[in-house]
Structure 1
Amino acid sequence: MRFRNSALGLALILVLLAGAAPATVQQDMARKVTEFRLPNGIQFLIVERHEAPVASFVTYVDVGASNENVGATGLAHFFEHLAFKGTPEIGTTNYAEEKKVLDEMETVFRQILAEKRKVTGPDAQRLEQLNARMDVLQKQADQYVVNNEFVTILEKNGGVNTNAGTGMDATMYFINLPSNKVELWAWLESERLLRPVPREFYKEKLVIMEERRQRTESNPIGRLIEEIQTTAFKAHPYKEPTVGHMSDLAAASATEAMAFHKQYYVGRNITVAVVGDVYPTEIKALAEKYFSPIPEGEMSGRAVTEEPKQMAEKRISMQDPSQPVVVLCYHKPDIRHPDSAVYDAIQDILAGGNSSRLHKKMVKEEKSALFVGAFPGFPGTKYPNLFLFFGIPNQNHTNEEMEKGIIAELERIKNEPVSAEELAAVQTKATVNLYRQLMSNGGVALQLAYYQVMTGDWRNLFTAIDKIQKVTPADIQRVAQECFVTSNLTVGTIVHAQAQN
C-alpha cells in the first residue's frame, strides 16, 4: 500500500514536469480538504486518502519560544516534554496520592528559590535541608509513575513515529496510527491538551538542561548561533534561545509551566490536521465529543515588540579550538510578505543543492569550502527574520575567503539579472519539492497545519506554487538589492585560536 501512495505522488510530479497547469492541480487538491471549527475555536482540517488503512495526525499549537517572557525562557519547549508525561489517568498508579506529593514539591521548590534569592545570600544549612526534602519527595513521586505510558499505549495500538517539536513560532505534535484507532487518538490527544500533569517535572528539567549543554554550551556552532541571534536582534523575542537560558531553566517550576499551558493551550490557538483513511463526519463527531471541553481562551496573537531597522553592520568573533566557520545574516520580512517566494527563489539559486551557484563556485571549482549553505527563515518565519548564509572553509582556506566568496555571489545576483533558464529550473525544482512533501499523509497534515497557523489560511499552501511561478528576474534583483546591504548585515565567525596564534 505504501507503494501506491508513492506512485501517486510520483505521477503527480511527472505531470507537473510535463507542463500541466499547477493551478489546476492545486485546485484539485484543495477541494479534497474538509474544514470545520469547534465552538471553542479549534480548527480541524481533514483530507481523505483511502489507499491504506492508516492516518496521520498533526496538532499545531500557535505558541513557541517567541511567546515567552524575560526570565522564563524555555517554557514552550519544556511543556512539549511534559505533554508526553500523561494525565490523571495515564502515567500513574494513583493520581490522588501522587498529586499530594507533587503539590508539596512545588511548596518546597518555592522555598528553595526564595532562599537562593535572599539579598543577604542563602542560608547554606537551610538550603541543604530543603534540597534533601526535595530528593525525598521526588522518590515518593516516582513510586506512582508508569514510565512512558502515553507513548506505550500508542505503540501497542500500531502507532509509529510519535514525536513533537518546538520552534520560535509554534509547537507541533505528530502521531501516526491505523485508521481503526482514530477514537483512541482523539481521546489521548484531547486529554493531554486539556489535563496534562507536570509529572517528573524536576527530573525532566535535568534532561533539558543537559540538552542545552550538548547543543549549545558544548557545541561551538551552537554557541555561535546563539550569539548571532542576540546580536542581530536587539528587541524582538527572536533574540532568545528556544531551549531557554540555563538560569531560567534552573529556576523554572511546574507551577510556571502549568500557567503557561493554561494561557496558551486553548482552543483559539490549536489547529488539528488529520490525513488518511478517515471520513470527515467521523472526525467531526469525535472532535465534538473529545475536544469540546478544551477552553476557548485568548489567541496568542503577535508579539508587540518589533525589531527596529538595523542601521549598521554588526560583527562577532568567537575563539574556539574547533572547525572555523563564518555566518552572514541579513534581516528580511516574514512569511506573509509578498516577496516571500522571491526570497525562497534566491535561496535555491545561491545554495539549493549541488547545482547552486555557491556550491559550484566555492566547493567544486575553487575548493575553498567544505560546505556552504543558506536558510531564508532563521530563527522563525512568523515575524521578520534572518536570511542566513554559512561557509565552512576547506583546509588551508580561511573564514575571510568564505565571506568574500558569499558576498561576491550576492553582489552578482544584485547586479546581473538571473537568466530565464536558471530561474525556470529553480521554479520547477521548488514546485517538485513542495509536491514531494505532499506525497505522505504526514507531509500533507504538517503543511496544512503550518500554513493555517503561520499565514492564517491553509489555502495558501495551494497558492504557493503560483507565487513561485510568478517570480521574475527583476523581482530577484530588486529584493537582493534591498536586502543584501552592509548596514543590514550581521557576521559571526568561529576562529581557531591556535591557528590564529
Structure 2
Amino acid sequence: MPPMLRRAAALLFAVLYLPLVTAADIQPTHEFFLDNGLKVIVREDHRAPVVVSQLWYKVGSSYETPGQTGLSHALEHMMFKGSRKLGAGEASRILRELGAEENAFTSDDYTAYYQVLARDRLAVAFELEADRLASLKLPADEFAREIEVIKEERRLRTDDKPSSLAYERFKAMAYPASGYHTPTIGWMDDLDRMTIEELRAWYQAWYAPNNATLVVVGDVTAEEVRSLAEHYFGPIEKRAVPSAKRPLELDEPGERRLTLHLNTQVPSLMMAFNTASLATETDPRQIHALRLIAALLDGGYSARLPQQLERGEELVTSAAAWYNAYARGDSLFVLSAAPNMQKGRTLEEVEAGLWGQLEQLKQTAPAAEELERVRAQVIAGLVYERDSITQQATTIGMLETVGLSWRLMDEELAALEAVTPEDIQQAARTYFTRSRLSVAHVLPEESGDE
C-alpha cells in the first residue's frame, strides 16, 4: 500500500474504531512480585504461539556521576560475556539455535534485555537471563576487548557523525542540573579510564531482582509465567540498592546558547525547552497537550512546519519537533531545522520562524478540526504500534521502570481524547518561554584562511 493510502487508512481506523479500543475489554494483564522483590507483569496475547520476555533494570546513564559515565552501557555489553553456567557468547548461540531473537538496550533511565521466541521455549529465556543476573563473571580480558568495541561505537555513532555530536553537546547544555546531560555511551575520557573494578561494583549495586521488572507478553498465562519465574528467578536473593532520586531540572534555567563548528556541509539549528514529563507534572493534561503539539507541528505533510515554513515561506528545507513524555525525570521539547540555502535564508531567520510558530500556538488555540486530525493521527500510530507484542512489552517495561504504571498504556488514548484546543494553548504558554530555552547554531567548520 502506498504511504499516503496507508496514512489515510490509519486515520480512518482511528476515527472509526477508537470507541471500540477504549470501550472493549482490555487485554488480560497481570502483575505480581516474587519474594525476592522481582516484579513480574504478564500481558496475554494469544494470536500466535510466540512470546517476548524482557528484563528491565532501573539503571541508566542518568544514574551515573561525573567521571564514571558510560558504566550502564558498558555493563550491557558485558552481560553477554559469560556467567557461572556459560562462557562468552554461549547464551546467544543457544538462542540462535532455537530461532529466537535477542538484544539489549540502554538509555538515560533503564537497561533492558529481551528475547522473542516460541512460547514453549520461554523457560530457556528465563534460565539464561536468571543465570547472568545471579552470576555474571565480568572477566578482565573480555572487558579489555569490549571497551575498545564501545569506544569504536562511540566514534562511529557520535564523534564522526556531526548531527549526533551536535545533539550530544546540545543536550549537555539543555540539562544543566540533571543527569540527562550525560551521554548514554559515556564521554570518551571516561571510557579511556574505566576499569573492570568499577564495572563489577556497578553490577553489584544495581543488578538485583528487587531493582528489576520482568515483562512477558504473548501466548502465555499468568500461572505458567509465575511458575517459571519462581523456579528460575526465585532463588536469587534480594540486595539493598542505592537510592535514586528523579532527575529534576531547574524550573527556569534561563536562556542558553551554543555555536558549534563541525564537519558538515550545511548549517542547522536546534531549539529546546525544559519541560516536565508524566512522571514529574501534577497535571498530566499539559503533558498530553505537548505530545499533540509535537504532532501538530511535525506530524506529516499537512503539519504546520512543513506546510508553513517549508512549502509556504520556503524558509527551511527540513524541520522537526519531538517530545518524550515518558522520562523518569524532567524532559525537553525539541525543534530542529535546516535553512533553505538556495533562497539565501539564515539561521537567524529560521530561529525567528520557529518562534513565530510557537507564538501562533500561544496566541490562538488550534481549530477543533485541526486538533481532531492530529489527534486521530497520533492515536492511529499508537494503535498500530501496539499490534506488536514486542512493542507492548517495551511500553510496559518503560512505563514501570521510569516510575509510572503499565496501566497508563491502556488509559492514554482516553487521555489524548480529553485534550482541548485551550489545553494546547495553555501548554504552549507555560513551556515555550525564553527562560526555558536552549539554542544551538551548528555551522560548517571554518577554513584556515578564514
TM-score of the pair, normalised by structure 2: 0.90
Aligned partner of 1:168 in structure 2 is: 108
1:67, CA displacement in angstroms?
0.7
- Name which of structure 1's ranges 235-244 and 291-300 shifts more when overlaid on structure 2: 291-300
CA distance in 1, matches of 2:54, 2:273: 32
Aligned partner of 1:97 in structure 2 is: none
Hey, which bits of structure 1, 4+ residues long, moved more than 6 A? Answer: 10-13
Equivalent positions of 1:349-388 (< 5 A) are 349-377=296-324, 381-388=327-334
CA deviations over 1:194-251 (Å, ceiling 9, x no partner): 2112241111100111111222222222222222122222221111111111121111
Alpha carbons of 1:325 and 1:409: their partners in 2 closer, same or farther (altered >3 Å)?
same
Equivalent positions of 1:405-444 (< 5 A) are 405-444=353-392
- Secondary structure of 1:471's counterpart equals coil
Do the aligned residues in 2 keep the contact of 1:57 with 1:174 (CA within 8 Å)? yes
Alpha carbons of 1:71 and 1:315: their partners in 2 closer, same or farther (altered >3 Å)?
same
Aligned partner of 1:48 in structure 2 is: 44
Do the aligned residues in 2 keep the contact of 1:13 with 1:435 (CA within 8 Å)? no
Does 2:13 align with 1:14?
yes
Q: 1:328 aligns with which of 249, 271, 293?
A: 271
Aligned partner of 1:198 in structure 2 is: 138
Does 2:155 align with 1:159?
no
Amino acid at match of 1:316: L
1:295, CA displacement in angstroms?
3.0
CA distance in 2, matches of 1:254, 1:497: 38
1:458, CA displacement in angstroms?
1.0
CA distance in 2, matches of 1:12, 1:189: 40
Does 2:238 align with 1:296?
yes
Percentage of matched positions with identical amino acids: 30
Equivalent positions of 1:176-215 (< 5 A) are 176-199=116-139, 200-215=142-157
Do the aligned residues in 2 keep the contact of 1:194 with 1:293 (CA within 8 Å)? no
Aligned partner of 1:62 in structure 2 is: 58
Does 2:26 align with 1:29?
yes
Equivalent positions of 1:242-391 (< 5 A) are 242-298=184-240, 301-303=243-245, 306-322=248-264, 323-336=266-279, 337=281, 338=284, 339-377=286-324, 381-391=327-337
Amino acid at match of 2:62: S
- Secondary structure of 1:340's counterpart equals helix
CA distance in 1, matches of 2:149, 2:297: 38
Amino acid at match of 1:186: F
CA distance in 2, matches of 1:236, 1:398: 32
Aligned partner of 2:90 in structure 1 is: 149
- Secondary structure of 2:373's counterpart equals helix
Do the aligned residues in 2 keep the contact of 1:16 with 1:22 (CA within 8 Å)? no
Do the aligned residues in 2 keep the contact of 1:22 with 1:466 (CA within 8 Å)? no
Unaligned runs of 5+ in 2: 1-8
1:311, CA displacement in angstroms?
4.4
CA distance in 1, matches of 2:349, 2:93: 52
Amino acid at match of 2:369: E
Do the aligned residues in 1 keep the contact of 2:43 with 2:216 (CA within 8 Å)? yes
1:321, CA displacement in angstroms?
3.9
Do the aligned residues in 2 keep the contact of 1:232 with 1:239 (CA within 8 Å)? yes
- Secondary structure of 2:329's counterpart equals coil
- Name which of structure 1's ranges 191-200 and 15-24 shifts more when overlaid on structure 2: 15-24
CA distance in 1, matches of 2:47, 2:206: 36
- Secondary structure of 1:432's counterpart equals helix
CA deviations over 1:162-219 (Å, ceiling 9, x no partner): 1111110111212101111111111011111221122411111001111112222222
Unaligned runs of 5+ in 1: 1-9, 92-145
Aligned partner of 2:4 in structure 1 is: none
Do the aligned residues in 2 keep the contact of 1:90 with 1:150 (CA within 8 Å)? yes
1:300, CA displacement in angstroms?
5.5
CA distance in 1, matches of 2:79, 2:138: 8
Do the aligned residues in 2 keep the contact of 1:273 with 1:448 (CA within 8 Å)? yes
CA distance in 2, matches of 1:284, 1:457: 20
- Secondary structure of 1:278's counterpart equals coil
Do the aligned residues in 2 keep the contact of 1:374 with 1:388 (CA within 8 Å)? yes
CA distance in 2, matches of 1:305, 1:356: 32
CA distance in 2, matches of 1:412, 1:12: 25
CA distance in 1, matches of 2:212, 2:91: 20
Number of residue equivalences? 432
Alpha carbons of 1:302 and 1:434: their partners in 2 closer, same or farther (altered >3 Å)?
farther
1:368, CA displacement in angstroms?
3.1
Amino acid at match of 1:218: D
Amino acid at match of 1:149: E
Do the aligned residues in 1 keep the contact of 2:14 with 2:380 (CA within 8 Å)? no
CA deviations over 1:314-365 (Å, ceiling 9, x no partner): 1110112413110001000022222221110111111122221111122233
- Name which of structure 1's ranges 69-78 and 43-52 shifts more when overlaid on structure 2: 43-52
Does 2:18 align with 1:75?
no
Amino acid at match of 2:334: L
CA distance in 1, matches of 2:339, 2:219: 49
Do the aligned residues in 1 keep the contact of 2:49 with 2:219 (CA within 8 Å)? yes
TM-score of the pair, normalised by structure 1: 0.81
CA distance in 2, matches of 1:436, 1:299: 38
Alpha carbons of 1:16 and 1:206: their partners in 2 closer, same or farther (altered >3 Å)?
same
CA distance in 2, matches of 1:418, 1:69: 43
1:149, CA displacement in angstroms?
1.9
Amino acid at match of 1:62: K
1:433, CA displacement in angstroms?
1.4
- Secondary structure of 2:37's counterpart equals coil
